[in-house]
Amino acid sequence: MKTCFLHLTLCLLIVILFSNFLSFSVIAAEQYFTPGIEELYLLDRLPMLKESVKVASISSYDRTGGNDDGFSGKYSFVRKEKEGLVLADLQGPGVIYRIWTPTPTDDEMEFYFDGENAPRIRVKFCEMFLGKHPAFERPLVGYGAGGFYSYVPLPYEKSCKVLIRAEKIQFYQINYAVYPDGMGIKSFSPDPNAEMRRHWEKAKALFGLAGKDIRSYVVPEGGKIEVITTKVDLEAGKSAVLFDVDRPGRIVGMRIQPADALIGKKRDIVLRAYWDGDEKPAIHCPAGDFFGYAWGKPAMKSLMAGTADGVNYCYFPMPFDRSGRIELFAEKELERKITVEAEVLFSPIGRREKEGKFYALWRRENPTIKGKPFTFIETEGRGHLVGVTQQSQGFESGNTYFFEGDDQTTIDGELAIHGTGSEDFYNGGWYDVPGRWETRRSFVLSGCLGYKKHLGRTGAYRIFWGDAYAYRKSLLQTIEHAPTNNELINDYCGVTYLYSQERPTCSFDLPAASDRAVLDPDRIVFAVWWNVPIHSLSLRNATFTKEGEQFDGKDVRYLSMRAKDNDIFGPHSISFTCELPAAGMYKVTLDIVKGPQQGKVQLFMDEAPVGPEVDMYSAERQTARDEFVGALALEQGPNNLMFKLVGKNEKSGGLGLDLTNIVCEKVK
């Protein structure tokens, strides 16, 4: 009996020692983890609550509340010195996590650490983002969609001064975090040792895997992965369970296919996740939007979530204490049959000390509130924001001026981050400019979900890692919907991804299905004076230019066509590709400039006229709006509308067409 008791005591002692060893290992790992380069590839640490005492940004935003966020350079520095402009002067210990600009120059930028008189880094501002400097290697730096960005962590033990040897710069943002003493932060070294080089190579490798399976970066070291697969049929008014376990663990990946199953403008399939028996969902989003869909179609391909090769994926780690469940719910209005296959990657490592739980919520303001910015999230508690997506729809076709609005982040009651424009928040720049923010573009941590000027529509996403917005008491994340004073009324919606120590205090409720649907404009303006695609034009005896004039004190721009005689195949013509959001019967009208040198224009389809001749002759130059040229049954997507110069008024001295807009208005 005594032997059995001793044996039992020994077993218990071994268990206690082993448990203490594991706890010590976790504590030791926490103790020796240093903020910086490791945060760019140790994705299993994303749920860890941040130890930073301050998260903030320095930017060129207009301090008066106006829209001069870098145009004049008035606010593009914190002070002037003899050598140039000081962009940031930070006290440590801390880390610079992100540097962004849409206006890099050839001027030299210098980084001074810990009060040193000589910079440890000297680089031309533009070359910082091109991978031409050993401290700023691709793909940790890059450019696209009009913006230039660096995610190279620049730690500083005591201080960091960023200076540019220039008389003027324009737009910039520098995101940083300040940490308490004792975190082991050492200032950036231009000559990294072998261990630091290993960290760099791991981060660079991960940055090249957007759209790929990155489970090995998400599971904690030594953790095993169980693959749980399901195939379900979605039925109207019912939920289908994709994952359900009653033991501690974490989800390290989720894949749902086919992606086409979630396509649709109704947003009538909802993704829900529940942790630890909570009756309220931790994830509560239209399923497509959770994976970065925009206006009902796949649009995002980031490292952490998106769509690739017909599969929706998410690699945000989702730890829980006792249980986890994920389901898809089909609204009762669902009219189609849908079958999906899901693969959930589960690791039986429960939520660790200092880890938050993962949450995702969807919000819509339709319309937005005049005088108040759109709110992604407002919550109390402790946690950190790790991502947002945004879909913005203006109520005026042909205009996206609302995207001049700035992002603003209030952390623990203080405004900590103030951006310089909506696309800037998403590492882009210069929306509606050819070659910049004008098409769907996906990068590792940010991108443009699409830009459609004629629909008054654009959207974007951004993922946060080292630059996560950590808060200890409260968080308010907003973005303006106008250049100033939030004076434009629009339709905004967005998804917010975050980790929180306790359940966020904001509402996760979704509006009714009918109030979630994408709303397409019925009246669509194609501004041909700007960048509407031209499908074809006259092959000879015609010239095309873009011009502008003032009428009644207002600037009017137009595409000007000047022709003589005939084209090879008959009357001169020009055909525009007009993309429509829905099929239907459309009334087509033109906004034009009439004058003494103008001809007669007519709309053609399949070489047959489908509307009246419009005589553009006028003795004096004047504008004319909504000139009816025909009604057509048009398809969803691209439609080629051909206009021919079929003759001229006997008083006209030329064969011209000065065209400002094509307007397609849906009539049924």
State the amino acid at position 388 in one-letter form: V
Q: What is the pLDDT of residue 32?
A: 54
Contact 158, 116 (CB under 8 A): no
Six-digit token pair at 109? 């930028």
Write down the domain spans for the chain.
45-207, 525-666
CA dihedral 582, 586, 589, 590 (to 10 degrees): 30
CATH topology for 45-207 is Jelly Rolls (2.60.120)
Strands 283-286 and 357-365: parallel
Q: What is the pLDDT of residue 28?
A: 36
First-to-last alpha carbon distance for the chain, in angstroms, is: 90
Report the C-alpha gap between 286 and 269 in whole angstroms: 6
pTM of the model: 0.93
> CATH classification of 525-666, choosing from 1.20.120.330, 1.20.1440.230, 3.20.20.100, 2.60.120.260?
2.60.120.260
Report the C-alpha gap between 609 and 102 in whole angstroms: 46
**Backbone dihedral region of 70: left (phi > 0), alpha (psi from -120 to 50 degrees) or beta?**
left
Report the C-alpha gap between 460 and 440 in whole angstroms: 9
- Tens-place pLDDT, residues 427-443: 999 999 999 999 999 99
Say how many C-beta atoms besides its own lie within 10 A of residue 668's C-beta: 7
- Tens-place pLDDT, residues 222-266: 999 999 999 999 999 999 999 999 999 999 999 999 999 999 999
Q: What is the pLDDT of residue 668?
A: 84
Q: What is the pLDDT of residue 7?
A: 46
Report the C-alpha gap between 324 and 317 in whole angstroms: 13
Say how many C-beta atoms besides its own lie within 10 A of residue 348's C-beta: 13
Report the C-alpha gap between 204 and 215 in whole angstroms: 16
Q: What is the pLDDT of residue 4?
A: 42
| 45-207 matches 525-666 in fold | yes
Count the residues in the chain. 668
Ranges in the chain, pLDDT < 70: 1-32
Q: What is the pLDDT of residue 81?
A: 97
Alpha-carbon Rg for the chain in angstroms: 29
How remote is the C-alpha of 629 from its chain's centroid? 39
Report the C-alpha gap between 319 and 358 in whole angstroms: 7
Burial 4-33 (b: 16+ CB within 10 A, else e): eeeeeeeeeeeeeeeeeeeeeeeeeeeeeb
Which candidate, 347, 355, 354, places its Cα nearest to that of 248?
347
Which candidate, 164, 162, 161, places its Cα nearest to that of 85?
164
Report the C-alpha gap between 244 and 275 in whole angstroms: 10
If you ran DSSP here, which 8-state letter would residue 510 be given? P
Report the C-alpha gap between 305 and 308 in whole angstroms: 10
